[in-house]
Amino acid sequence: MVLELAACDLPMQPGNLHAEVRDNTLCIPAELAKELSKLGVRNAVDLIAFMSAFPSTVAEQLHWAVPDVVAATALLRQQLQTQLPEAMKRPQTHAEPSYGAMDPDLLPPTAAQNPLGSRGKGP
């Protein structure tokens, strides 16, 4: 069963959507529902996926900070544990990207640095 989204008169604060499950719908604040419908987000699975993939977009729409959206997503995911497909129950983690230059001592030698050339054999 997929919970369809419904615009409801609910309070909203940074870090918490105060979403409620009512029958076969997930009630979310009307302000958020309006913006999400423009983006094609129609149900709870779409909502979790969208908030997870685009937290900065949601933060901009709600005038929140990105960590607030991340916290609200985690709270919503926890609230909907029994209604979500197995793949949506745990957030996917991604390796942190590296920034800056690598340590030159850890790089493999290039042909210019290797007097034996790229074949690894002597003359």
pLDDT of amino acid 28 = 93
The position carrying tokens 């050339």 is 117
pLDDT tens, the chain, 123 aa long = 688 999 999 888 999 999 998 888 999 999 889 888 888 999 988 999 899 999 999 999 889 999 999 999 999 988 887 765 554 445 555 566 667 777 778 877 775 565 565 555 555
Q: What is the pTM of this model?
A: 0.66
pLDDT of amino acid 122 = 53
Summarize the chain as % helix, strand, coil (round to 5). Answer: 40, 15, 50
Q: Which residues contact 46 (CB under 8 A, 6 or more apart)?
A: 5, 36, 40
107-111-112 Cα angle (round to 5): 95
pLDDT of amino acid 79 = 86
pLDDT of amino acid 81 = 78
| 45 SS3 class | helix
pLDDT of amino acid 72 = 94
